[in-house]
Amino acid sequence: MVDLIEWPELPAAQQPQWPDRAALDAAVADLRALPPLVFAGECDQLTDRLATASRGEAFVLMGGDCAETFEGATADAIRGKLKTVLQMAVVLTYGASVPVVKIGRMAGQYGKPRSNGDEERDGVSLPSYRGDAVNGLAFTPQARREDPRRLVQAYHTASATLNLVRAFTQGGYADLRQVHAWNQDFVRESIAGEKYDRMAGEIDRALAFMNACGADPEEFRRVEFYAGHEALLLDYERALTRIDSRTGLRYDVSGHFVWIGERTRQLDGAHVDFAARIKNPIGVKLGPATSPEQAVELCERLDPDRVPGRLTLVSRMGAGRVRDVLPAVVEKVTASGHPVLWVCDPMHGNTFEGATGHKTRSYDDVVDEVRGFFEVHRRLGTHPGGIHIELTGDDVTECVGGTGGVLEADVGNRYETACDPRLNREQSLELAFDVAGWLISR
């Protein structure tokens, strides 16, 4: 049964100007008739998991592409991202000594907010790329035309992605011992890995000990993995919002976790209103201009019932700002009594244009923002609950730095992202080992 849900008319930032209204209506009708990608019970379970993280009893790892593409939804690419997230999670589990809640920026990350509506190249101006769910990346008028049929293709691509992710995580491929073996390969074979020889050895002994005890728990063989994306394109998200027959509550069944981006978190805007009306666990990005009062107002709007795990505040202040801006925000939210989960996105406040003209980020800035995030929470007695990373399983050269070292001059060598620069596999694992090291020494 497809429920009809009415949505209020509110200003909605960052929406495509679909040129063909009839085609949009047809696409939305298609989406409304399609089955859910995730289930209400799974979303509730994630809320419970995030609640534990908000109390410091779990740590959250979110990771995946800045912008997923239809073309990029191959078995190899999906497996590569999943592997990277799982490898990071094992290291973080060891470092934090608590469960790691794993959420892929996957199976729905097909819409992008843009700072400029148009892109100019060599005197030619075309509409900006807004993600594969809206238009194409190629710099041609045809590709950049906004086509609502892409929303339906986004659904099917998400469906195929999620299917593979579920198969990998439930079918034995992601066995903890296997993931650890991949980490050992990383330590053995990469320049960055050498530094982590000791920690990998400790994890190895812990696993050998459990093996010797005869322990072979089900938890080693299956992985709980959730899908999340920015709830940006309201035509897509609304069409995939359903009323749960069991409880009568609304769930956005396009993903387990959805967040509101920095550019669409206006208190009187359609995105905040949308998120307030769904039962999924939700997030909001908070950039360096966030005032403590705004943060509290967002909490009031998005989590009036103060449900632990419901609301995640994802700070993305930049390495240079996090230590100045975050404390007052955390203090005010803590004083308000809202039981939020704090997660650090060390990517979006640290973007700059490198020597080759590419948008890039430095590994050192990424690490430094996470470190600042931990420092602030330690000092205030609150929990640094997780990290949110743009990454890929491929050996791209989009971000500079890390021990293996991508030099600024080399950024163009393998620059494959459709939007923001991602940590490559080695940089991602290095980050996990670094963060795990601090967690152990705390």
Rg (CA), the chain: 21
- Shortest distance, CB of residue 348 to ligand PEP, whole angstroms? 4
Give the three-state DSSP class for 106: coil
- Choice between 44 and 68, CB closer to Mn ion: 68
In the complex, least distance from residue 289 CB atom to ligand PEP, rounded to whole angstroms: 12
Which is nearer to Mn ion, 50 or 66 (by Cβ)? 66
Choose among ligand PEP, Mn ion, none what residue 44 binds, the Cβ cut-off being 5 to 8 Å by kind.
none
CB 259 within 8 A of CB 284: yes
Size of the site for Mn ion (CB under 5 A): 2
Q: Which is nearer to ligand PEP, 90 or 330 (CB)?
A: 330
Residue ranges of alpha helices (H) inside 224-284 are 234-239, 270-277
- Burial grade of 398 (CB within 10 A; 0-12, 13-18, 19 or more): buried
DSSP code, position 372: H
Selected range binding Mn ion among 37-45, 130-138, 154-162, 414-422, rule: CB under 5 A: 414-422
Q: How many CB atoms lie within 10 A of CB 440?
A: 13
Summarize as ranges the residues that interact with ligand PEP (CB under 6 A).
66, 113, 230, 261-263, 285, 316, 348, 420
Residue 316 site contact among Mn ion, ligand PEP, none (CB < 5 to 8 Å, cut-off depends on kind)? ligand PEP
Residue 341 near residue 312, CB atoms below 8 Å: yes
Distance in angstroms (rounded) separating the CA atoms of residues 344 and 327: 13
Compare residues 241 and 350 and give the one whose CB is closer to ligand PEP.
350
Q: Which C-beta is closer to ligand PEP: that of 83 or that of 388? A: 388
CB atoms near residue 381 (< 10 Å): 8
Instruction: Work out which of 420, 426, 430, 434 binds Mn ion, going by CB under 5 A.
Output: 420
Nearer to Mn ion, 200 or 396 (CB): 396
Residue at shortest CB range from ligand PEP: 261
**Looking at this protein, which amino acid is placed at residue 425?**
R
From the list ligand PEP, Mn ion, none, pick the one residue 180 interacts with, judged by a Cβ distance below 5 to 8 Å according to partner type.
none
Any contact of residue 66 with Mn ion (CB under 5 A)?
A: yes
Q: Which stretch binds Mn ion (CB under 5 A): 99-107, 186-194, 407-415, 417-425?
A: 417-425
φ, ψ dihedrals at 360, nearest 5°: -140, 180
In whole angstroms, give the CA distance from residue 57 to residue 98.
6
Question: Can you give the binding site for Mn ion, defined by CB under 5 A?
Answer: 66, 420
